[in-house]
Amino acid sequence: MKSPFQRVLASSRLRHLLLLGIDGLVGALSLWLAMLLRFEGAIPDVWHVALPRLLILIILARVISSYLFRVHRWSFRFSGLMDGARVGISGVFGTGLFILGVYFLRPTGPPRSVVVMELLLSTAALAMFRFLPRVAWLYRMDRSRSRRGDVLRTLIVGAGSAGEMLLRDLNRSDEHSYRVMGFVDDDPSKKGSIVSGKPVLGGVADLPELVRRLEVGKLLIA
């Protein structure tokens, strides 16, 4: 039987509402923490009076910006670079909404340093909240494959966009026995670089030595 939390995650509508609520809460916590950092833990009385209204404004700003940029419709498993860019743009837009709200509603506005710190804190927290589950899931999948008895140590030939896409597809699935050790590519400028977490180990001419040293059982050509 599913727990209430599992039922929430299973419903896309409830999951989206939960993410919007978390985004608003992150904004409020970030603003409060930014005030504490700005005033070294002792927020003056004048800010204590204005803080409740400022917290309401930042919650509304973060929820509206997340909704407009659809970062509440998040796929924890298939998120990528463009999704990360949307989180950053949403963060900047939310800060703009907050500044407009302060200007028109006339509560005592926070110092500019607090606004900047809130933007940095909330954007970092929103990105971590969205990407850490995927990183943890990929790490768990890789560890699980490494412990399997039928695992095949694998090299991908080609460290370009096709090779990177192939690695992503392999990482997303546990229905295979490939454990990717790295890439080989004849472009010397790529040697030693990291592609989606895996190193470029050398060129095609290095394959015999790499296969022997790493005990590679499979080559995938991209």
H or E element in which residue 96 lies: helix 81-105
The count of structural domains within the chain is 2
Please check whether residues 48 and 97 belong to one and the same domain. Answer: yes
pLDDT attached to residue 4: 52
Residue 160 has pLDDT above 50, yes or no: yes
Of 114, 141, 168, which marks where a domain is finished?
Answer: 141
Nearest to 74 by CA among 6, 135, 129, 4: 129
Please check whether residues 45 and 129 belong to one and the same domain. Answer: yes
Please check whether residues 161 and 118 belong to one and the same domain. Answer: no
CA distances from 170 to 174, 210, 220 (A): 8, 21, 11
- Per the prediction, the chain carries an average pLDDT of 84
pLDDT attached to residue 5: 46
Give residue-wise pLDDT tens across range 48-59: 888 899 999 999
Residue 65 has pLDDT above 90, yes or no: yes
Residue 10 has pLDDT above 70, yes or no: no
φ and ψ at residue 116, rounded to 5 degrees = -65, -45
Strand partners, 155: 182, 219
Of 98, 115, 141, which marks where a domain is finished?
Answer: 141
Is this prediction's pTM over 0.75? no
Give, to the nearest 10 degrees, the angle between helix 112-147 and helix 45-68: 50
* The total number of residues written for the chain in this structure: 222
Q: Would you state the structure tokens that stand for residue 148, as one six-digit string?
A: 């399997």
Q: CB–CB of 93/68 below 8 Å?
A: yes
Q: Which domain holds residue 114?
A: 4-141
Of 91, 116, 141, which marks where a domain is finished?
Answer: 141
Give, to the nearest 10 degrees, the angle between helix 81-105 and helix 112-147: 160
SS3 at position 183: strand
Q: How confident is the model at residue 28 (pLDDT cuts 50, 70, 90)?
A: very high
Position with higher pLDDT, 79 vs 220: 220
Residue 209 has pLDDT above 50, yes or no: yes
pLDDT attached to residue 152: 84
Q: CB–CB of 142/62 below 8 Å?
A: no
Give residue-wise pLDDT tens across range 87-126: 999 999 999 999 999 988 877 778 899 999 999 999 999 9
